[in-house]
Amino acid sequence: MSRAQVLERSPKKRAVLEKDKLSKRTSIIQAAASILQKKDWSELSMDEVAKRAKIAKGTLYLYFPTKEDLCLRIHSADYESWFLDLNEFLNTCSQLDAKKFSNWFVQSMDRHTRFLKLLPIVPTILEKNASIQTIREFKTNIKLQISNVLPQLIRFFPFFSEQSGFLFLMQCHALAVGSWSHGFPSIQVREAVKDTDLELFVLDYKSFLETSILHLLKGHSTT
């Protein structure tokens, strides 16, 4: 066996290779995340990501087979950041009621703009074209984040069980996603409803979301 083959098989060499892979992977995610901070998902190109990460386009596809796969990884990291924000909020609260929670939820979107930008396209675009492994890891991460924050949520809202608290956070997510198209309609939709009695289909996103979460939380308290 040659010296090169021995080195390739050695634990130390494998560790170096794994470290290099992790470094490249991190560099790619950071490059794409930086672009998405300024651009919409539709404007993101893998060419631009490869150039920003200073790697060949072919190398990029070895790590992330599709743009959707890459964006779902970024969204998973953004989810973690949002849940850290929620954890910090709950940890620093001495008192918390439904109105204060619903207001925090909506205001948090301003601090996590990339998270909000990708949120509505996760089920319709990203999850349809990402790998099974990436989707599984994404869902596992969300489950972990929710499980970690539940004890704090239940501390303030003791009518929640772990199951109903989990359901409540999933319902908040569904409201945030489902009302997006009404709060931020396309140019064509805005033109179609402009100066007509159809304008009621265009919502004030923050106001609608805050009110909906408030009513949802109050509803849970009475069941």
DSSP collapsed to 3 states, 109-129? HHHCHHHHHHHHHHHHHHHHH
Q: What is the pLDDT of residues 112-126, one digit of tens each?
A: 999 998 999 999 999
Closest by alpha carbon to 28, among 4, 2, 1, 51? 51
Summarize the confidence of residues 178-201 as an average pLDDT: 90
Percentage of the residues of the chain whose pLDDT score is greater than 90: 78
CA distances from 132 to 57, 65, 75, 127, 136 (A): 22, 12, 16, 9, 6
SS3 55: coil
What are the structure tokens assigned to 172, written together?
């908040």
Within a 10 A sphere around the Cβ of 105, how many other Cβ atoms? Answer: 22
Closest by alpha carbon to 45, among 26, 18, 66? 66
Give me the DSSP letters along 126-179: IHHHS-HHHHHHHHHHHHHHHHHHHHHHHHH-TT--HHHHHHHHHHHHHHHHHT
Q: What is the pLDDT of residues 10-51, one digit of tens each?
A: 555 544 466 777 888 999 999 999 999 999 899 999 999 999
Summarize the confidence of residues 152-174 as an average pLDDT: 95
CA distances from 204 to 68, 89, 121, 176, 213 (A): 29, 25, 20, 12, 14
Instruction: State the pLDDT at residue 9.
Output: 57
pTM (two decimals): 0.84
Instruction: State the pLDDT at residue 15.
Output: 44
